[in-house]
Amino acid sequence: MAETYPLQIFNTIDIDLPCKEIDCRKVFEFVAQHEKVIFELVELAYVDEQEIIRINKEFLKRDYITDIISFRYDEDNSNTKIEGTLYCCLSRIIDQAKEFNQTSEKECLRILIHGLLHLIGYEDQSEAEKEEMTNLENLYLSMFYE
């Protein structure tokens, strides 16, 4: 399968990724096509708990572990050519999978979708926004798994 959109994946920790790179790329392309955007460059970096806390503190002034932090390089959400970085805490994602009674693979792909939606411009600050993002995550996962 030809790579249509540049997705660079970096695993900086000693935990094997529960999802295959090809599946990440398929989800990546699927979201881009359905959201009608072009991801010019997205870095997907898997980091440990200490690093996600450091990033959270430095850039968002929050002192806790989170599953993903998304950074879009430009501030223009009307721009359909998107570049950004997604920092994912793999141990947190694996723990969440257990909490939600999901496979680690599926949770890993859900978090990727979540991060991509943030890069596109979706927010999850309010209950309505969270619900919209969760519905899109479920839709894209169901389309991918069926």
Task: Please name each of the domains of the chain with its CATH number.
Answer: 7-145 (3.40.390.30)
H helices then E strands: how many in the chain? 5, 4
Query: For residue 3, is pLDDT > 70?
Result: no
Q: What pTM, to 2 d.p., does this model score? A: 0.93
* E strand spans, 38-130: 38-47, 68-72, 81-89
Distance (Å, rounded) from C-alpha 11 to C-alpha 27? 18
For residue 79, what pLDDT is reported? 74
- Identify the pLDDT of residue 110: 97
Instruction: Report residue 75's pLDDT band, with 50, 70 and 90 as the boundaries.
Output: confident
The strand pairing partners of 84, in sequence order, are 42, 72
Tell me the pLDDT of the chain averaged across its residues: 92
3-state secondary structure of 38: strand
